[in-house]
């Protein structure tokens, strides 16, 4: 889940309130179709749920994440799997992998070219990349409301920390670095958040880069205003939804 060290992650909060991240990643594991004996790298593995699912196929998996807290939890839950702390922009592997897998991570990684270079180096020629993350238009309404609050609370310089590329943009990045795109899809995936507090918990978990700049009363004001602004569009039948839009790609290393 984390791949650059700028954000501090709370693995318990992540697993208790944001389990949809890995639960919804199961379809991506099916697309990866890991096989016995393959060597697979899970980049941004978080607390290791999908890494464990990949390992069930009989593949040998390495999980990497920049958060030592997440890696600590992943190791404790999966003693038979290797997990290391590493940054997606700088990691290096001892031996190339048959596949690199990554779910809900690459929108955190800037500059993206660095991660693509490391992914390319981590794959054997012919090895595959199977990824999904926030694509162009992801969290569009949530971002607009957040920027509006940043302005209203005296932080007009605030910029979101995420990178949400289009199919064309990310395919070009991959192709420039020796990865041929076989399949790419950009699709809306409204994602239910847990409980009446789901929206504010999402902003609290992921938007520290703005909320940490606020006083505690400004913070409460901001979270309440976000709920008011987003309720007409993102609260349906008693459930909050994040307006997620995913970019899913399969590519192979050609050289």
Binding stretches for ligand BEZ (CB under 6 A): 104, 107, 134, 138-139, 162, 206, 244
In 72-190 the beta strands, taken as DSSP E runs, fall at 82-85, 97-103, 123-134, 179-188
Please state the closest distance from residue 17 (CB atom) to ligand BEZ, in A.
12
Nearer to ligand BEZ, 46 or 134 (CB): 134
Please state the closest distance from residue 98 (CB atom) to ligand BEZ, in A.
26
Nearer to ligand BEZ, 97 or 108 (CB): 108
Sheet of 235-236, strand order: 191-192, 239-242, 235-236
Nearer to ligand BEZ, 22 or 97 (CB): 22
Pick from 162, 205, 128: which is nearest to 3 by CA? 162
> Are 255 and 141 in contact, with CB atoms under 8 Å apart?
no
How would you label 194-222 residue by residue, b for 16+ Cβ within 10 Å and e otherwise? eeeebbbbbbebbbeebbeebeeebbeeb
Please state the closest distance from residue 105 (CB atom) to ligand BEZ, in A.
8
- Token duo for residue 56: 């069930």
Nearer to ligand BEZ, 242 or 251 (CB): 242
Nearer to ligand BEZ, 178 or 208 (CB): 208
Please state the closest distance from residue 104 (CB atom) to ligand BEZ, in A.
4
Spatial separation of the C-alpha atoms in residues 103 and 42, rounded to whole Å: 8
Please state the closest distance from residue 203 (CB atom) to ligand BEZ, in A.
9
> Are 123 and 100 in contact, with CB atoms under 8 Å apart?
yes
Residue with CB nearest ligand BEZ? Answer: 134
* 3-class secondary-structure state, position 77: helix
């Amino acid at each position: 889940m984390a791949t650059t060290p700028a954000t501090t992650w709370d693995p318990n909060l992540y697993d208790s309130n944001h389990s949809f991240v890995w639960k919804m990643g199961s379809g991506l594991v099916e697309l990866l179709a890991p096989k016995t004996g393959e060597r697979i790298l899970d980049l941004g593995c978080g607390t290791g749920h999908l890494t464990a699912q990949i390992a069930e196929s009989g593949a040998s998996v390495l999980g990497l994440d920049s958060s030592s807290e997440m890696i600590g939890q992943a190791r404790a839950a999966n003693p038979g799997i290797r997990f290391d702390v590493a940054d997606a922009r700088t990691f290096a592997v001892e031996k190339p992998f048959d596949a690199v897998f990554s779910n809900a991570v690459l929108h955190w990684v800037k500059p993206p070219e660095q991660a693509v270079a490391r992914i390319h180096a981590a794959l054997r020629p012919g090895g595959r990349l199977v990824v999904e993350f926030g694509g162009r238009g992801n969290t569009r309404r949530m971002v607009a409301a957040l920027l509006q609050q940043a302005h209203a609370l005296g932080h007009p310089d605030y910029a979101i920390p995420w990178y949400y590329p289009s199919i064309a943009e990310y395919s070009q990045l991959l192709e420039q670095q020796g990865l041929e795109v076989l399949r790419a899809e950009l699709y809306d995936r409204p994602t239910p958040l847990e409980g009446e507090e789901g929206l504010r918990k999402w902003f609290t978990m992921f938007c520290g880069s703005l909320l940490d700049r606020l006083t505690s009363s400004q913070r409460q004001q901001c979270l309440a205003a976000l709920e008011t602004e987003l309720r007409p569009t993102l609260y349906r039948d008693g459930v909050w939804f994040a307006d997620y839009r995913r970019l899913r790609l399969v590519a192979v290393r050609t050289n």
